Amino acid sequence: MTVQFSPEALAEAGPSMRSIKLPEAHPPVKAGKIGVLLVNLGTPDATSYWPMRRYLREFLSDKRVIEWPKALWYPILYGIVLITRPKKSGKAYDEIWNKELDESPLRTITRSQSDKLAQMMGDHGGRLKIDWAMRYGQPSIRSRLEALKADGCDRILVFPLYPQYAASTTATVNDEVCRALLEMRWQPAIRTVPPYHDDPAYIEALSQSVERHLAGLDFEPDVILTSYHGIPQSYFKKGDPYHCHCMKTTRLMRERLGMSKEKLRVTFQSRFGPEEWLQPYTDKTVEALAKEGVKNIAVMNPGFVADCLETLEEIAGEAGEIFHENGGGEFTHIPCLNDSDLGMAVLEQVVQRELSGWL
């Protein structure tokens, strides 16, 4: 089979490739480009019942997210959860929804991260393409992989936007990539970004974000919580490294910031269902601190690359209310790195490193 490569690919290729003779009637086939696909968790298309239901059905039917047997979980999912939860979740999303663009903050920020990364890295003479996708919802991983391949990317770096590895986040992104590849006759070569929970650039960016935020306050937090999304204890006991990654991230931040374990603490949020999850729980810790007489606290979310429902509504909103209702004083939420200069520097450094040998 003779393949006609794109002009960009031929320009970058060696003399042997440029000298290939092609049949006159051969259709053009794009190849020779490199793609980078940023992938975040997901987002509903709207806050009303049916869009929320579609999103929750895709999310909560993922066996990496809920590891219960289908025979046990599906009657609960379809008989209770997908009937009652869309309305409740839709109300929560509505509180943080980007009304101007009619989309979730996670979609807004992830798109911006992709656009800014493309500007920072350049296109290398048309060879480098940067795109973004969502594991659940739109744009899907499959659709963006297919688009990158159609545009001539025969090498693609997939970047699950999770600093700490968990089977329910990083692994399910990789699962979906592999499912998409199963249906491709001409598959691109694939690399996936490993966890970067202890990357010096990431730790420095988080630490600087804390210093910048605290410098703008008129009070000094007595305690700072690093709140990570939780996973069930059973997942941890099966060998998931997530808990260890979270603990190491915070430990390295303590060392960089010169803070004690009492000052900078680890908690876990967003538990779901009857199982025991990683502890201590964020909401219970916030309540206990207020009742113990701690007057001022700050909470940050190092495990989230972009602010979303779990950080804006659950932490900046609900956790703050819990603290005040139980006698606490000043409460502040330290934003995620998002598309800030600090956050973008981390993404660029990780991508540059993982493209080594390709670009």
Show binding-site residues for Fe(2+): 229, 310
Under a CB-based contact definition with an 8 Å cutoff, are residues 266 and 279 in contact?
Answer: no
Tell me the C-alpha distance between 16 and 146, whole Å: 29
> Do the beta carbons of residue 207 and residue 259 sit within 8 Å?
no
Cα separations in angstroms, 178 against 119, 146, 171 = 29, 13, 11
69: left (phi over 0), alpha (psi -120 to 50) or beta: beta
Distances from the Cα of 171 to the Cαs of 39, 41, 165, 167, 240, in angstroms?
A: 12, 12, 8, 5, 11
Instruction: List the binding residues.
Output: 229, 310
Sort strands 189-192 and 223-229 into parallel, antiparallel or unpaired: unpaired
Q: State phi, psi for 300 to the nearest 5 degrees.
A: -130, 165
Q: DSSP of 144-207, one letter per residue?
A: HHHHHHHTTEEEEEEEES-SS--IIIIIHHHHHHHHHHHT-SSPPEEEEPPP-TT-HHHHHHHH
In angstroms, the CA 324 to CA 164 distance is: 31
